[in-house]
Chains A and B, each alone.
Chain A
Amino acid sequence: SQQGEEDPQALSIQEGENATMNCSYKTSINNLQWYRQNSGRGLVHLILIRSNEREKHSGRLRVTLDTSKKSSSLLITASRAADTASYFCAPYNAGNMLTFGGGTRLMVKP
Protein backbone atom coordinates (compact mmCIF):
# COMPACT_ATOMS: atom_id res chain seq x y z
CA SER A 1 0.00 0.00 0.00
CA GLN A 2 1.05 3.60 -0.16
CA GLN A 3 0.04 6.79 1.45
CA GLY A 4 -0.01 10.33 0.23
CA GLU A 5 2.20 13.03 1.57
CA GLU A 6 0.52 16.39 1.91
CA ASP A 7 2.29 19.69 1.59
CA PRO A 8 2.37 22.10 3.31
CA GLN A 9 1.84 20.62 6.75
CA ALA A 10 0.15 23.81 7.87
CA LEU A 11 -1.39 26.75 6.06
CA SER A 12 -2.83 29.98 7.43
CA ILE A 13 -4.81 32.36 5.23
CA GLN A 14 -7.38 35.13 5.47
CA GLU A 15 -11.04 34.58 4.74
CA GLY A 16 -11.73 35.10 1.06
CA GLU A 17 -8.31 33.94 -0.09
CA ASN A 18 -7.68 30.72 -1.97
CA ALA A 19 -5.99 27.74 -0.32
CA THR A 20 -3.92 25.22 -2.24
CA MET A 21 -2.76 21.91 -0.81
CA ASN A 22 -0.60 19.39 -2.57
CA CYS A 23 -0.30 15.64 -2.38
CA SER A 24 2.43 13.37 -3.68
CA TYR A 25 2.42 9.59 -3.89
CA LYS A 26 4.77 6.87 -5.04
CA THR A 27 3.11 4.21 -7.15
CA SER A 28 0.35 3.94 -9.73
CA ILE A 29 -3.19 4.52 -8.57
CA ASN A 30 -6.78 3.74 -9.50
CA ASN A 31 -8.09 6.85 -7.82
CA LEU A 32 -7.15 9.49 -5.30
CA GLN A 33 -9.46 10.84 -2.66
CA TRP A 34 -9.46 13.98 -0.54
CA TYR A 35 -10.97 14.17 2.93
CA ARG A 36 -11.52 16.88 5.53
CA GLN A 37 -11.43 16.48 9.27
CA ASN A 38 -12.67 19.03 11.72
CA SER A 39 -10.90 18.91 15.06
CA GLY A 40 -11.39 15.58 16.82
CA ARG A 41 -14.13 14.35 14.53
CA GLY A 42 -14.52 11.80 11.78
CA LEU A 43 -13.31 12.44 8.27
CA VAL A 44 -15.62 13.74 5.58
CA HIS A 45 -15.14 12.69 1.99
CA LEU A 46 -14.68 15.69 -0.31
CA ILE A 47 -13.88 14.40 -3.76
CA LEU A 48 -12.64 11.34 -5.63
CA ILE A 49 -10.66 11.68 -8.83
CA ARG A 50 -9.96 8.67 -11.02
CA SER A 51 -6.60 8.00 -12.60
CA ASN A 52 -7.93 8.84 -16.07
CA GLU A 53 -9.24 12.22 -14.94
CA ARG A 54 -7.13 15.37 -14.80
CA GLU A 55 -9.41 17.80 -13.04
CA LYS A 56 -12.58 17.69 -11.03
CA HIS A 57 -14.75 20.36 -9.44
CA SER A 58 -17.18 20.31 -6.57
CA GLY A 59 -18.56 23.66 -5.44
CA ARG A 60 -15.59 25.74 -4.27
CA LEU A 61 -13.24 22.76 -4.53
CA ARG A 62 -11.03 22.01 -7.48
CA VAL A 63 -8.83 18.94 -7.60
CA THR A 64 -6.19 18.22 -10.18
CA LEU A 65 -4.32 15.01 -10.79
CA ASP A 66 -1.04 14.58 -12.65
CA THR A 67 -0.26 10.87 -12.82
CA SER A 68 3.02 11.49 -14.63
CA LYS A 69 4.26 13.48 -11.64
CA LYS A 70 2.36 11.34 -9.15
CA SER A 71 0.82 14.40 -7.58
CA SER A 72 -2.52 15.99 -6.88
CA SER A 73 -3.64 19.36 -5.63
CA LEU A 74 -6.72 20.59 -3.83
CA LEU A 75 -7.75 24.19 -4.31
CA ILE A 76 -10.36 25.81 -2.09
CA THR A 77 -11.53 29.09 -3.53
CA ALA A 78 -12.93 32.02 -1.56
CA SER A 79 -12.17 30.31 1.74
CA ARG A 80 -14.35 30.71 4.79
CA ALA A 81 -13.64 30.36 8.49
CA ALA A 82 -15.68 27.14 8.38
CA ASP A 83 -13.07 25.64 6.05
CA THR A 84 -10.64 25.53 8.98
CA ALA A 85 -9.79 21.84 9.25
CA SER A 86 -7.19 19.23 8.39
CA TYR A 87 -7.17 17.97 4.83
CA PHE A 88 -5.94 14.53 3.83
CA CYS A 89 -5.29 12.89 0.52
CA ALA A 90 -5.60 9.14 0.07
CA PRO A 91 -4.20 7.53 -3.06
CA TYR A 92 -5.61 4.12 -3.84
CA ASN A 93 -4.37 1.26 -5.99
CA ALA A 94 -6.31 -1.92 -6.54
CA GLY A 95 -6.27 -4.59 -3.88
CA ASN A 96 -4.85 -2.40 -1.17
CA MET A 97 -6.33 -0.44 1.63
CA LEU A 98 -6.91 3.28 1.62
CA THR A 99 -4.25 5.00 3.73
CA PHE A 100 -3.79 8.60 4.72
CA GLY A 101 -0.86 10.92 5.07
CA GLY A 102 -0.22 13.41 7.84
CA GLY A 103 -2.57 15.98 6.36
CA THR A 104 -2.47 19.73 5.88
CA ARG A 105 -3.81 21.82 8.73
CA LEU A 106 -5.65 24.78 7.26
CA MET A 107 -6.48 27.81 9.36
CA VAL A 108 -8.76 30.41 7.81
CA LYS A 109 -8.79 33.65 9.78
CA PRO A 110 -11.96 35.75 9.74
Chain B
Amino acid sequence: KAGVTQTPRYLIKTRGQQVTLSCSPISGHRSVSWYQQTPGQGLQFLFEYFSETQRNKGNFPGRFSGRQFSNSRSEMNVSTLELGDSALYLCASSSATGLARYEQYFGPGTRLTVT
Protein backbone atom coordinates (compact mmCIF):
# COMPACT_ATOMS: atom_id res chain seq x y z
CA LYS B 1 0.00 0.00 0.00
CA ALA B 2 1.18 3.52 -0.68
CA GLY B 3 1.90 5.57 2.40
CA VAL B 4 0.45 8.89 3.47
CA THR B 5 1.34 11.60 1.01
CA GLN B 6 1.42 15.32 1.64
CA THR B 7 1.71 18.11 -0.84
CA PRO B 8 3.49 20.34 -1.19
CA ARG B 9 6.57 19.27 0.75
CA TYR B 10 7.93 22.79 1.09
CA LEU B 11 6.20 26.12 0.92
CA ILE B 12 7.24 29.72 1.42
CA LYS B 13 4.53 32.29 1.99
CA THR B 14 4.35 35.91 3.00
CA ARG B 15 2.67 37.15 6.15
CA GLY B 16 -1.00 37.85 5.52
CA GLN B 17 -1.39 35.30 2.74
CA GLN B 18 -3.32 32.08 3.02
CA VAL B 19 -2.20 28.53 2.36
CA THR B 20 -3.82 25.16 1.67
CA LEU B 21 -2.06 21.91 2.44
CA SER B 22 -3.18 18.54 1.15
CA CYS B 23 -3.02 15.06 2.59
CA SER B 24 -3.87 11.73 0.98
CA PRO B 25 -4.28 8.96 3.54
CA ILE B 26 -3.45 5.32 3.14
CA SER B 27 -6.08 3.58 1.04
CA GLY B 28 -8.94 2.43 3.23
CA HIS B 29 -8.14 4.74 6.14
CA ARG B 30 -11.00 7.03 7.06
CA SER B 31 -9.42 8.96 9.92
CA VAL B 32 -7.06 11.84 9.16
CA SER B 33 -5.38 13.98 11.80
CA TRP B 34 -3.28 17.09 11.43
CA TYR B 35 -0.46 18.26 13.68
CA GLN B 36 1.74 21.33 13.84
CA GLN B 37 5.32 20.87 14.97
CA THR B 38 7.57 23.73 16.00
CA PRO B 39 10.80 23.77 18.01
CA GLY B 40 9.17 25.85 20.74
CA GLN B 41 5.75 24.19 21.10
CA GLY B 42 6.54 20.68 19.97
CA LEU B 43 3.87 18.53 18.36
CA GLN B 44 0.45 20.09 18.71
CA PHE B 45 -2.80 18.53 17.58
CA LEU B 46 -4.80 20.63 15.13
CA PHE B 47 -7.85 18.55 14.20
CA GLU B 48 -9.08 15.13 13.23
CA TYR B 49 -11.54 14.15 10.55
CA PHE B 50 -13.44 10.92 10.22
CA SER B 51 -15.82 10.24 7.36
CA GLU B 52 -15.88 13.92 6.35
CA THR B 53 -16.75 15.08 9.87
CA GLN B 54 -14.46 16.93 12.23
CA ARG B 55 -14.24 14.66 15.25
CA ASN B 56 -11.78 16.55 17.43
CA LYS B 57 -10.20 19.97 17.39
CA GLY B 58 -7.12 21.30 19.11
CA ASN B 59 -6.59 24.68 20.65
CA PHE B 60 -5.84 26.75 17.56
CA PRO B 61 -7.41 29.98 16.33
CA GLY B 62 -10.13 29.99 13.71
CA ARG B 63 -7.57 30.89 11.05
CA PHE B 64 -6.80 27.18 10.97
CA SER B 65 -9.46 25.12 9.28
CA GLY B 66 -9.74 21.81 7.54
CA ARG B 67 -11.98 19.52 5.66
CA GLN B 68 -12.16 15.97 4.44
CA PHE B 69 -13.55 14.73 1.18
CA SER B 70 -15.57 11.63 0.43
CA ASN B 71 -12.41 9.81 -0.71
CA SER B 72 -10.86 10.56 2.72
CA ARG B 73 -8.34 13.03 1.32
CA SER B 74 -8.01 16.03 3.58
CA GLU B 75 -6.96 19.62 3.28
CA MET B 76 -6.06 22.16 5.89
CA ASN B 77 -6.15 25.88 5.33
CA VAL B 78 -4.45 28.66 7.22
CA SER B 79 -5.65 32.16 6.48
CA THR B 80 -3.91 35.44 7.27
CA LEU B 81 -0.58 33.80 7.88
CA GLU B 82 1.60 34.96 10.75
CA LEU B 83 5.32 34.46 11.25
CA GLY B 84 4.53 32.06 14.08
CA ASP B 85 2.75 29.74 11.69
CA SER B 86 6.09 28.65 10.30
CA ALA B 87 6.23 24.98 11.15
CA LEU B 88 6.25 21.41 9.95
CA TYR B 89 2.65 20.35 9.34
CA LEU B 90 2.12 16.64 9.68
CA CYS B 91 -0.81 14.60 8.53
CA ALA B 92 -1.56 11.13 9.84
CA SER B 93 -4.11 8.54 8.85
CA SER B 94 -5.52 5.68 10.82
CA SER B 95 -7.86 2.78 10.30
CA ALA B 96 -9.59 3.82 13.53
CA THR B 97 -13.34 3.38 13.57
CA GLY B 98 -15.76 4.76 16.10
CA LEU B 99 -13.97 5.58 19.32
CA ALA B 100 -11.19 3.05 18.94
CA ARG B 101 -7.75 4.46 18.32
CA TYR B 102 -5.18 2.53 16.43
CA GLU B 103 -1.71 3.36 15.28
CA GLN B 104 -1.35 6.41 13.10
CA TYR B 105 0.66 6.50 9.92
CA PHE B 106 2.34 9.81 9.29
CA GLY B 107 3.19 11.54 6.08
CA PRO B 108 6.56 13.26 5.54
CA GLY B 109 5.09 16.66 6.38
CA THR B 110 4.87 20.04 4.72
CA ARG B 111 7.50 22.53 5.80
CA LEU B 112 5.84 25.97 5.78
CA THR B 113 7.96 29.08 6.09
CA VAL B 114 6.23 32.42 6.56
CA THR B 115 8.32 35.51 5.82
A→B interface (CB under 8 Å):
1, 30-31, 33, 35, 40-45, 48, 88, 92, 94-103
Interface residue count on the B side (C-beta < 8 Å): 25
A81 to B33, CA, bound (A): 31
Assess the A48–B102 pair: CB atoms within 8 A: yes
Contacting residues, chain B, for A1 (C-beta < 8 A)? 45, 56
Which residues of chain B in 75-111 are interfacial with respect to chain A, using CB atoms and an 8 Å cutoff?
88, 90, 92, 99-109, 111
> How long is the Cα–Cα vector from A100 to B54 in the complex, in angstroms?
19
Interface contact B103-A100, CB-CB below 8 Å = no
Main secondary structure of the interface of B (DSSP, over half): strand
A30 pairs with B106, CB closer than 8 A: no
- Complex Cα–Cα for A42 and B89 (A): 9
Known pairs A31-B101, A96-B56. 15 more at Cβ < 8 A? A30-B100, A35-B106, A40-B88, A41-B109, A42-B108, A43-B43, A43-B104, A45-B103, A45-B104, A45-B105, A94-B99, A94-B101, A99-B43, A100-B43, A102-B42
- Is the beta-carbon distance between A42 and B42 smaller than 8 angstroms? no
Closest Cβ of chain A: how far from B107's Cβ, in Å? 5
On chain A, the residues within 8 Å of B100 by CB distance are 30, 94
A-side interface mostly: loop
Quote the shortest CB–CB distance from B89 to chain A (angstroms): 11
Which of chain A's residues have a CB closer than 8 A to the CB of B45? Answer: 1, 97-100
CB pair A88 B33 closer than 8 Å: no
Residues of B within 8 A of A96 (CB): 56
Across the two chains, which residue of chain A brings its CB closest to B43?
A100
CB-CB < 8 A to A30: which residues of B?
A: 100-101
CB A99 to nearest CB in B, in angstroms, measures 5
B49-70 interface code vs A (CB 8 A; 1 in, 0 out): 0000001101000000000000
8 closest A-B pairs by CB: A42-B106, A97-B56, A45-B103, A100-B43, A43-B106, A92-B101, A94-B99, A102-B42
